[in-house]
Homo-oligomer: A and B are copies of this chain.
């Protein structure tokens, strides 16, 4: 549980006023919040404050390479939605607003904060869209990263089709109902079948990926208050799918299969077959999203946009903090301008807090 912090609140009101000519006077605004806090042990932000706070939280996301676009974040204030059905419906609506027929928009949906004696609803999924992982005797069908979560929702009665790409249900916990599961309607999930610009056999691997990455496990801290349920999405950067989800040994692990089909010497790491496979899978990802009209960034372009963000922040009299190991793309790292400098790695608020990790 994250407690209310009044000095953080005061600093936030000042920042809000400093960056927004139309914001209320921070001293007055803080007095108002103090009165409210005295009365009921917490206080409420205005929708305008939350919109600003959520955007700045993105601007402060040290692990995010995509921050140039922080002002464009669409913030959906849904603090009044408290029922499990309501939260589920708003998550689905989030996906529709974000997907936008492939022209993906950055969106954040903000649900209520905990209040004294009244816990707020929580999403138990790590992302709104993830594929189930079914643990078999020797191997996993689907996403091994979701095997534990899958077993858990199965224990509550969910059952998937058993394919490699079954979208998991939303698991929403409320004080009234405990955990309830909700399937996401198929038409709210844009998916992209993967093919390669040169190798026809690639399509026969029957790989696909969903177009919207929407993290739902990170609490959002704004102006002294923690919002535990605040799913947000951008668009993908290709390497997330092509260098991690499809190839990590504890994820879909398709490296060797693709290496063999490429005719590479997969028994000899020194042949750099892995390095070659990564290039081809990443090409397939970018190519397929482009063909499908689903927005996706490549790491070269996004690196340039990030450097522009860093410069813009400097011109605004701020310093862009960043975690080097997260913002440097994992493919052709040295060709990215992001590689060739260091950053202040310290965390700043408003910001997204580390998720607690999944436990049943």
Contacts and interface: CB of A to CB of B under 8 A. Distances in A.
Contacts of A286: 270, 272
A300 B278 CA distance: 14
A328 B331 contact: no
A26 B28 CA distance: 67
Interface string A265-278: 00001111011101
Contacts of A333: 330-331, 333
Interface in A280-299: 282-283, 286, 298
Interface residues of A, number: 31
B339 A330 contact: yes
A14 to B, nearest CB: 34
Given A269-B301, A279-B279, A301-B269, A274 B332 contact: yes
A4 B301 CA distance: 50
A243 B279 contact: no
The listed residue with most B CB atoms (<10 A of its CB), out of A244, A331, A339, is A331
Given A272-B286, A298-B270, A248 B279 contact: no
A301 B275 CA distance: 13
Where chain A touches its partner, the secondary structure class is helix
A324 B339 CA distance: 12
A199 to B, nearest CB: 14
A255 interface: yes
Given A269-B298, A274-B332, 10 more contacts: A255-B335, A272-B283, A272-B286, A272-B298, A272-B331, A275-B335, A278-B335, A325-B325, A330-B334, A331-B333
A88 interface: no
A34 to B, nearest CB: 40
Interface in A310-358: 324-325, 328, 330-335, 339, 342
Contacts of A275: 278-279, 282, 331-332, 335
A278 B332 contact: yes
A225 to B, nearest CB: 30
29 contacts: A244-B334, A247-B335, A248-B334, A269-B300, A269-B301, A270-B286, A270-B298, A270-B300, A272-B279, A272-B283, A272-B298, A272-B331, A272-B332, A274-B335, A275-B278, A275-B279, A275-B282, A275-B332, A276-B279, A278-B335, A279-B279, A325-B325, A325-B328, A330-B333, A330-B334, A330-B339, A331-B332, A331-B333, A333-B333
The 9 closest A-B pairs by CB, nearest first: A269-B300, A330-B333, A275-B332, A330-B334, A270-B298, A275-B279, A274-B335, A243-B334, A324-B325
